[in-house]
Amino acid sequence: MHYDDTGVGTPLLLIHGFPHDRSLWQPQLDGMGEDIRVIAPDLRGFGASTEVPDMMTMDAYAADLKELVDELGLQQAVVCGLSMGGYIALAFLANYPEVVHGLILCNTRSGADDEKGRAGRYATAKKARDEGMENIAEGMVPKMITEATATAHPERRAAVKDLMARQRPTAVIAALRGMAARPDRTPMLATIKVPTLIITGSKDELILPEESEAMAAAIPESKLVIIPDVAHLSNVEDPDAFNKVVREFVLGLE
Ligand code: MLT
């Protein structure tokens, strides 16, 4: 597995979203501080990972991450996922609860796709296969960051678009199939025993803040932070606010 690994201290495993790679977490690799060990892998097929089966379930991604945790010799890690990374973080917690020291769910949800959502996944998969990623990436940018950020920082807009445009259609299709098949994890929320931080952006239109509020209401030991004026990629759009709340949470764990 290809991954970045920086800093020393409590391990923080960062799971990127769709269709991204580990460079999504560059603002955290650069800005989390030296006293937290930040580990950011490429999920199978994305970034520097070239081989991928036809479908990657959230459980399969989680199994890859468990292998990495074992390879690194870690007993536990704080597991943090953004969007699809959050679906995977919940799968990781369901399958390897003993490894999770704390949970951070960013711009994500616990529910499964409905029929319309699944149909959208298959349409996107077809488009990725027929046309490649350029148009999909361009169409997704306005859902990832706010118009205000895109206008004020054209270089950030370009970076977010490139991040998505350069992903392999094979990886994208495998992830779409896996997300379409993912189970509803809502019933497990009430049973979560690890400290949980939920982060979202007030302007996330891809996964509405209401989804985060519902998870926070259902998870007993949870804290919700809604970062103002940012959309889906809250860690990229306001890295200072994001890093601050994550640092406080990680350093505050026993
Ligand atoms: C993501 O950002 O990981 C995806 O947009 C999540 C999704 O499509 O459900």
pLDDT of residue 254: 77
Where does the pLDDT of residue 33 fall: very low under 50, low under 70, confident under 90, or very high at 90 and above? confident
Tell me the mean pLDDT in the region 3-15: 97
Pocket probe for ligand 1: among 16, 18, 232, the residue whose CB has the most ligand atoms within 8 Å is: 18
CA of 18 to the centre of ligand 1 (A): 5
Measured CA to CA, the distance from residue 201 to residue 233 in angstroms comes to 8
* 209-247: pLDDT as tens digits: 999 999 999 999 899 999 999 999 999 999 999 999 999
Nearest atom in ligand 1 to 107's CA: 2
Measured CA to CA, the distance from residue 10 to residue 193 in angstroms comes to 19
Nearest atom in ligand 1 to 84's CA: 3
CA of 169 to the centre of ligand 1 (A): 15
Residue with the smallest CA separation from ligand 1 atom 4 is 18
CA of 73 to the centre of ligand 1 (A): 30
CA of 83 to the centre of ligand 1 (A): 5
CA of 149 to the centre of ligand 1 (A): 20
Measured CA to CA, the distance from residue 18 to residue 7 in angstroms comes to 26
The percentage of residues in the chain with a pLDDT greater than 70, rounded to a whole number, is 100
The percentage of residues in the chain with a pLDDT greater than 90, rounded to a whole number, is 98
Q: Give the pocket of ligand 1 (CB within 6 Å).
A: 17-18, 83-84, 179, 206, 232
Please tell me the total number of residues recorded for the chain in this structure: 254
Nearest atom in ligand 1 to 82's CA: 3
Residue with the smallest CA separation from ligand 1 atom 9 is 84
CA of 17 to the centre of ligand 1 (A): 6
* 43-72: pLDDT as tens digits: 999 999 989 999 999 999 999 999 999 999
Assess contact for 200 and 212: CB atoms under 8 A.
yes
Pocket probe for ligand 1: among 16, 21, 56, 83, the residue whose CB has the most ligand atoms within 8 Å is: 83
Residue with the smallest CA separation from ligand 1 atom 5 is 18
pTM (predicted TM-score) = 0.97
Structure tokens at 103: 């949970």
